[in-house]
Chain A
């Protein structure tokens, strides 16, 4: 039989990713002091990491349920804009959001000033509460979209039936909504838990201190401040075991990632009439919107003010970040296409596990490992951009693959026989069939990758050097040296870059349809 698309490239790329991560792990382990011993402080770090992830996941989901329910059963002006906005935190650079959150909830922020008017003490945001707040900011919208998507999968006819029978709200919840939540919630919880488990930039900016350090942050500190490779190694192994196990467990309940569009099916609800539920829904939607909009508008407003104060290093860093994102996105596409064609052509499950390594393996561990490998051979800083671009691409791979695989699978199912009958194989299948068929999905995946890469504050911190930096790193430095105005300007530039890169890729994908 003819080789399927991706049948060779898929395993090669997956193997290469696996080898890259494994090499880093081996390099890190070689520096560890055997036998490995975990100190009291290591356990404290592990406890904090798990605890904040549990809190972040459950709070995100708990807040998301009423918002999703309200969005599912209400029609109003701007509803679809709001649903689109819920997708924004996914491509929003972490450091930008953190600055926005600080402006609103920080010690000298808007909320604290408001509290001051009533003679109350200002909010304290650093530590567990700040980390969880930022995680909820990022993941509550994600959870809302996942739950909303599930809610809208309940056929309209069932709600019509419920309305006809005149069931009270509690019965509606029990018969229609609870079974659905039971299906959707574990996946949403697991996904957010895994995402928060490997969180670095949030912990770096809002956590810190011995009491609120995630494993990822501890790796950075061991490496950067103490150059204690042994400790970095121990922490990396801990991280791999912890995130790896969770990712494996989560794999079986992970929800699929859906394209930006959709969710607009009008739904007439007969069970939610009356003023009280209507007011309650309005409150849920209003609070969620304000929670999302306030930090973002803070970034825009202060960004415009700060734009004039931005030093030239920021513009230079913006340029560096842009082509870093371009390289990273290119690498991602090269990896994601064969892997997703391969997975799309094979039976479900199984092989998909491979891509989750990207989620499980900590970027800092991979970065540290490659630093150790390169160190004796050359100055690692020469390779900083390449390693960063590659690690960013690997981190985006699981998301890209989850976006692409359904499209690949569909194309192969619908047109597999036609391809064979016309003698289309090898690169011809890609050019004539697969690429045009998955173009929309590819644009979306590339947009995600570009935005994630341009906003990433992770591996680059390991290789940081005073002479050059990426934009998120430069912004972090400005924040660290209390140049808040310049940092705000940089944040706006970064925001525009991330959204712009996403928009360009996504637009390219959709352009074919018209």
Chain B
């Protein structure tokens, strides 16, 4: 469960406010115009953007002053999710052991994760030697071994084509189910939300609204959302 309580982020003359609760294992689409504060919201929850006020609770634990890697959150960014000089095994292994000194059991776990995302046989390749889709798969495999209760995805598939993006979204949901994790994924395509995600969290002009079930919100979108969607 994620609870965001009276959160305020201030960046120069931009401010973001949020106050909501997300139940465990929910799959949330974060939707909104660019510059509205979607990335800032995920950054604040993940611990990359300092909070001015308010708190973030993950599974009931206040993590507002905790290091990003200690929050029970894993995160994928728009780019730079893999180290180009490390093999896919090593990149995934970092999610288990930052020292990369893995036991045999851990190596096996990494192997299983790579298999799970369809990368069997690519273990010793480097990111530069595989396709963009395969890079995304490797990043997802790392989320799988990290097995954090909350997964944040800041448009990691935006560079991929539509078909591949759908595929990655499906795979992400599989990974989330496998790890029994809550996910929040920023997307620009409301169809993503309608097809695959339970709820929509709308962000507009520095205000994050409480998530609502996708069907409900799409049936009767608020004014700002329909303006954004062009309805």
A418 CB contacts on chain B under 8 angstroms: 77, 80-81, 83
Q: Tell yes or no: B100 within 8 A of A by CB.
A: yes
Q: Which residues of B contact A428 (CB under 8 A)?
A: 98-99
Q: Is the CB of B77 within 8 A of A432?
A: no
Q: CA A418 – CA B77 in complex, angstroms?
A: 8
Which B residues are in CB contact (< 8 Å) with A421?
Answer: 46, 48, 68-69, 74-75
Q: Find chain A residues with CB under 8 A from B100 CB.
A: 432
Interchain CB contact under 8 A, B68 and A420: yes
B residues near A414, Cβ cutoff 8 Å: 80
Is the beta-carbon distance between B83 and A423 smaller than 8 angstroms? no
Closest to B77 in A: A417
Minimal Cβ-Cβ distance residue in B for A512 = B85
Per the 8 Å Cβ criterion, residues 408-434 of A in contact with B are: 414-415, 417-418, 420-424, 428, 432-433
B67 to chain A: closest residue by CB: A2
Number of A-B contacts (CB under 8 A): 46
The answer to whether B75 and A415 touch across the interface, beta carbons within 8 angstroms, is: no
B53 at the interface (CB under 8 A from A): no
User: Which residues in chain A, 388-446, are within 8 Å of chain B measured between CB atoms?
Assistant: 414-415, 417-418, 420-424, 428, 432-433, 436-437
Q: Report yes or no: A432 in contact with B98, Cβ–Cβ below 8 A.
A: yes
Which residues of B sit under 8 angstroms from A422, Cβ to Cβ? 69, 94-95, 98
Residue numbers in A under 8 Å from B86 (CB-CB): 432, 436
Q: A511 to chain B: closest CB distance in Å?
A: 13
Contacts of B75 in A (CB 8 A): 421
A415 to chain B, nearest CB (A): 6
* A420-B80 CB under 8 A given contacts A436-B85, A437-B85, A512-B85: no
Task: Enumerate chain A residues within 8 angstroms of B67, measured Cβ to Cβ.
Answer: 2, 420, 423
Pairwise interchain contact B98-A424, C-beta atoms closer than 8 A: yes
B70 within 8 A of A: yes
Indicate if the CB atoms of B99 and A420 lie closer than 8 Å.
no
Residues of A within 8 A of B48 (CB): 417, 420-421
With contacts A432-B94, A436-B85, A512-B85 known, what are 12 further pairs, Cβ within 8 A? A415-B83, A417-B48, A418-B77, A418-B81, A420-B47, A420-B48, A422-B69, A422-B94, A423-B69, A432-B83, A433-B83, A436-B86
Q: List 9 A-B contacts (CB under 8 A).
A: A414-B80, A418-B81, A420-B48, A421-B48, A421-B69, A421-B74, A422-B98, A423-B67, A437-B85
